[in-house]
Amino acid sequence: MQNQTPETILKETFGYDQFRTGQLSVINKVLAHKHALAIMPTGGGKSITYQLPAMMFEGLTLVISPLISLMKDQVDGLNTLGIPATFLNSTVDGQEQAQRMSDLRHGVYKMLYVAPERLEVKSFFSFVQQLPVDLIAIDEAHVLSQWGHDFRPSYLNILPLLSEIPGNPAILGLTATATERVRENLQELLGVSDDDTVLTGFARDNLALKIVRNQDKRDYIAKYLRENADQTGIIYAATRKQVDELTAYLNKIGIHAARYHAGLSEKERQKQQEAFLYDESPVIVATNAFGMGINKPNVRYVIHYSVPGNIEAYYQEIGRAGRDGLPAEAILLYAPQDIHLQEFFVQKSEGSEAYKQNEYDKIREMNAYANTQTCLPRYLLQYFGETVTQDCGRCSNCLDERELVDVTVDAQKVLANVMRMNQRFGKTMVAKVLKGSNDASVKKYEYLRDLPTFGLMKERTLKDLTQFIDYLTADGYLRFEGAEYPVLKVTKLGADVLKGQGNVTKRLEKVRILRQSATQ
């Protein structure tokens, strides 16, 4: 293959006419033996960025991937394309393993897939050191970062090993997680410069995002699945119990659904996954254990039965819809108690305080997203650091036809109060002071009652006020700081509103209109 160019290999081996955004740029860096980082959305076409160079290198490309269950499929796919690839993991028996290792020594393969744990086995690592490795690709690299959404500390053990593989192979990290913090962390861990970091746009124009609040989730799903009976989709739930209960419910009402979670046996998981992949079950109900690396092009919808713990995971999960480029939907069913459930997970988790704090921050960001009234893709892309000038016109917020009202004055009252309280209190206290509450928690701080903002919004209910504060937080006028007792701070955007620069608008709530007319 030495005489071929990336373009001809793309066409002749992979059968594609053009590179997708970012692919060629990554490939060129890899071919130049640089250490690089490819950050592309799920379905963006990351695999080719190491599979194609693998065809051009004389030696071997080592692919480190945590996805043992998918290695066989990936390798079978490559073999079908005529790319000599193999994998070594716990599913391969001793004799076959010996054969593959012998073939590797004899240069039979261009690619070898292994799980990170395997490299930690001394004898295996010595074997790898004897192979002519040109490229090391680390798939799902975000698991290396403590700021990533699926941190696996043990994977850090493999990093020092990489430099002990002779021949100075290029290293390529690949992930769909793009927050700045993770990006910088991975750059540092893998020794990648800014110039060698390729970050492609995260926009998925074929995906319509929707957030549904205050609805019976089961009824919503039953109705949706009946209306879309000829389509295929994934429903993500937060716990194994939720998966089991929802699947049982759907099957009871005559909707055939597969299920997937880590509590099922390996064999059962395989069976359920295949039922979905081969369209025997149009729907799969799953925890986040399902989907890493799943490449089913015709997934038409992803429904979140419960709010996930962070935006990165959410983004990755919705990215599994519409990989074929045709229109698809991602629906988030929101209930405030979902957020408490996620907080509970963190509370129970093991990890340092800093780690937990970071997880709480992520839950809050996710909650803010679920409550924003701005264009949803726009919000997400801004979260990932992209500048977006236009609304999508397709998401549930863009299509929201409720009347838009100016709430600048109310916003100023809340923001002024947060400032007066020296930005040292949480949401409930801020709401209580605005309400002019006399309860003990307020009395404890005498000076609060003397503030000019005390009772400034006494005509509103406490619930109303906390919801309004949530709204201002979701849209970035306020932010929380601190883990255990998060306090409210006024952001730069909020400060502008206080100075009279910028208006705050809000959709008129239908429920509130009803409530008002009921009391009149």
Per CB under 6 A, residues contacting ligand ADP are 16, 18-20, 23, 40, 42-48, 295, 297, 323
- Smallest distance from ligand ADP to CB 293, Å: 7
- Smallest distance from ligand ADP to CB 38, Å: 8
Residue number, 42 or 187, with CB nearest to ligand ADP: 42
Residue number, 45 or 308, with CB nearest to ligand ADP: 45
Residue number, 80 or 422, with CB nearest to ligand ADP: 80
User: What string of DSSP letters covers 290-307?
Assistant: S-TT---TTEEEEEESS-
Residue number, 63 or 465, with CB nearest to ligand ADP: 63
- Smallest distance from ligand ADP to CB 230, Å: 22
- Smallest distance from ligand ADP to CB 139, Å: 8
Q: With contact defined as beta carbons under 8 Å apart, do 293 and 143 qualify?
A: no
Residue 155's Cβ-count burial label (10 Å; 0-12, 13-18, 19+) is buried
Residue number, 17 or 164, with CB nearest to ligand ADP: 17
Identity of the amino acid at 34: K
Residue number, 18 or 129, with CB nearest to ligand ADP: 18
**Site of tokens 């799969």:** 284
Ordered alpha helix ranges (H), 81-227: 94-105, 116-119, 122-129, 158-162, 180-190, 217-227
Distance CA 460, CA 499 (A): 24
- Smallest distance from ligand ADP to CB 323, Å: 6
- Smallest distance from ligand ADP to CB 366, Å: 22
- Smallest distance from ligand ADP to CB 316, Å: 9
- Smallest distance from ligand ADP to CB 48, Å: 5
- Smallest distance from ligand ADP to CB 16, Å: 4
Q: How many CA atoms lie within 13 A of 50 on its CB side?
A: 33
Residue number, 111 or 415, with CB nearest to ligand ADP: 111
Q: With contact defined as beta carbons under 8 Å apart, do 319 and 202 qualify?
A: no
Residue number, 65 or 367, with CB nearest to ligand ADP: 65
Residue 337's Cβ-count burial label (10 Å; 0-12, 13-18, 19+) is exposed
- Smallest distance from ligand ADP to CB 395, Å: 22
Tokens of 255: 């909707």
- SS3 assignment, position 401: coil
Q: How many CA atoms lie within 13 A of 420 on its CB side?
A: 21
Helix axes 376-383 and 353-371, enclosed angle (nearest 10): 160
Which residues are registered as beta bridge partners of 2?
Answer: none
Cα first-last separation, the chain: 80
- Smallest distance from ligand ADP to CB 360, Å: 29
Residue number, 41 or 169, with CB nearest to ligand ADP: 41
Residue number, 139 or 329, with CB nearest to ligand ADP: 139
Long-range contacts of 151-160 (CB under 8 A, 24+ apart): 151/355, 152/66, 154/116, 154/117, 154/120, 155/66, 155/116, 156/189, 157/120, 158/64, 158/116, 158/119, 158/120, 159/189, 159/190
Q: How many CA atoms lie within 13 A of 284 on its CB side?
A: 28
Q: Cα–Cα distances in Å, from 505 out to 460, 472, 492? A: 18, 10, 17
Residue number, 298 or 374, with CB nearest to ligand ADP: 298
